[in-house]
Every structure is written in C-alpha cells, then in structure tokens.
C-alpha cells in the first residue's frame, strides 16, 4: 500500500474524529466487491440491453418495452439477491455506531446498506430500491418478491389491482427524481461537516451535485474512486483506491484516534 494512500486516509480519519456530521455518498463502486457489476463497465448489463430503449416514456407507452424492462430487471433482481454487504458497507455502519454518521446518500438500488445493518432512516436512496415495486397510478407499494413470483408465473408486464402499471421502485431514464429524497439529500449535503463521495463516477445528475452542495456549505470533501471524476479538482482529498480498501483504512485510523 502506498504511503500516499495511507496519508490521505489518515487525514480523512482525523476529519471524522474532529466532526460529527459525516455524510457518505455511495455509487456503484461500493457494491462491486459484493458481486454487483457497474452497469456501465465492460461486461456490464448495458452491453446486453440498450438503456435508451428503457426511457420512462417508452415504459408508459409500450407493452413490449414493459415486458423487456421486467426481463432486464429480473436479471438485476437476482444479482442483487445473491449479493452480500462488503467491508465498505460495514464501515458505514461502524461510523454510525460511533455517532459520526449523519446519513448515507446512495445512488445504489441494492439495499446493501440496510442489509449491513444501517437503519433505514439513515439511508437516502436517490435512485430507488429494486426490492420494492410501485404502482404508477395508485402509488401502492408491493414487496418485490410477490410481484417477481407473478412475473415468473407468466405475467410479463404485471399490473396493480387498480389496473395501473407496476414498475420496480427504481428511477428509469427520464423518470422524475423522488422529491422527498432529493430535498433531504440536498439539505444533508449542504449541512455536512465532512462529505465522502465513494465509488461514484459523479457523472449521473442530479445526484452528482451532492458533493458540490457539501463543498459550497463548507464541508471537507473527499472523493474515493478508482478512476478520476469531474470534481477531483474541487476535493480536499482524492483517493484512487477500491471503496472497501479505503474505508477499511479510514475506519482503522478513526478507531486509533477515538
């Protein structure tokens, strides 16, 4: 391990020791060690499905698109079911137990933060959750397992009891972002004392604005990602390392200081 990474993670640990409002923003890179590939990476799911086909307006307009969307999302669902939280998720839980974590704002739809033991109230899901299903008409929420059984039983594009369209509770391309979650994420980011953006390319908007809100609010900003991001030049510290490795180092360093 390079001294440079050790030095940077040690600095982040000192920030965490000195402050109590730590906001962690997580992207796909936090879940890759759990076996959930980044959709955009080589071998990712977008090599087999065309994301442009799944625009929200197309989902609303076409039975054929809805059928294909559920086919695509069935593959996503079973990948998520097999996944287990990794050390990056567990580090977030540990920081919460130390009284340091304000919240986790996540782009991920895999429920792994909650599975690791983070209270639901501490997780703001900007892009939804693949383990739930919503009716687009009456807004009724279903457990995904129940609806998935109907899909497996031959309902290729299931409908609600009210005859409304059912859709996994995740944000499709062109679908409005969830108002309550966006408002909460913006407020928490702007009020953060320390903001860690972990495993995100920071190219998907409006989620990618969160580190900027934090920086504008006076937070210490750290970006932890294997590849460069558009906001590296605005960060106080940039760590090019795997999410789990970096978070393990940060957590150990925090423990030594507590």
Is position 127 annotated as part of the catalytic site? Answer: yes
CA atoms within 13 A on the CB side of 226: 12
> Which tokens is 138 given?
């009456």
Place of tokens 């703001």: 124
Select which of 73, 89, 113, 127 is catalytic: 127
Give the β-pairing of 123-125 and 101-106: parallel
Radius of gyration of the chain (CA): 19
- Give the Cα separation of 217 and 250 in Å (integer): 23
SS (H, E, C) 161-185: CCCCEEEEEECCCCCCCCHHHHHHH
Sequence-distant (≥ 6) Cβ neighbours of residue 62 within 8 angstroms: none
- Active site positions, annotated: 127
């Amino acid at each position: 391990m390079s001294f440079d990474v050790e030095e940077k993670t040690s600095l982040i640990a000192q920030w965490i020791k000195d402050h109590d409002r730590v906001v962690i923003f997580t992207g796909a890179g936090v879940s890759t060690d759990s076996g959930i590939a980044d959709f955009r990476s080589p071998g990712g799911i977008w090599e087999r499905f065309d994301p442009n086909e799944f625009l929200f307006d197309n989902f609303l307009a076409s039975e054929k698109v809805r059928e294909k969307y559920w086919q695509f999302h069935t593959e996503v669902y079973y990948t998520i079911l097999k996944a287990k939280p990794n050390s990056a998720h567990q580090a977030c839980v540990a920081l919460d137990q130390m009284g340091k974590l304000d919240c986790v704002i996540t782009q991920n739809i895999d429920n792994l933060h909650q599975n690791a033991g983070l209270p639901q109230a501490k997780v703001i899901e900007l892009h939804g959750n693949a383990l739930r299903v919503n009716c687009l008409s009456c807004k009724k929420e279903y457990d995904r397992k129940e609806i998935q059984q109907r899909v497996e039983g031959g309902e290729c594009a299931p409908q609600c009891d009210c005859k409304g369209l059912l859709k996994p509770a995740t944000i499709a391309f062109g679908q409005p972002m969830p108002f309550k979650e966006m408002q909460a994420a913006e407020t928490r980011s702007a009020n953060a004392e320390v903001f860690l953006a972990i495993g995100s390319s920071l190219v998907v908007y409006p989620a990618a604005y969160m580190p900027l809100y934090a920086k504008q609010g006076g937070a210490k900003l750290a970006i932890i990602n294997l590849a460069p991001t558009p906001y590296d030049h605005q960060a106080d510290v940039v760590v090019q390392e795997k999410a789990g490795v970096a978070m393990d180092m940060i957590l150990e360093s925090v423990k030594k200081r507590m």
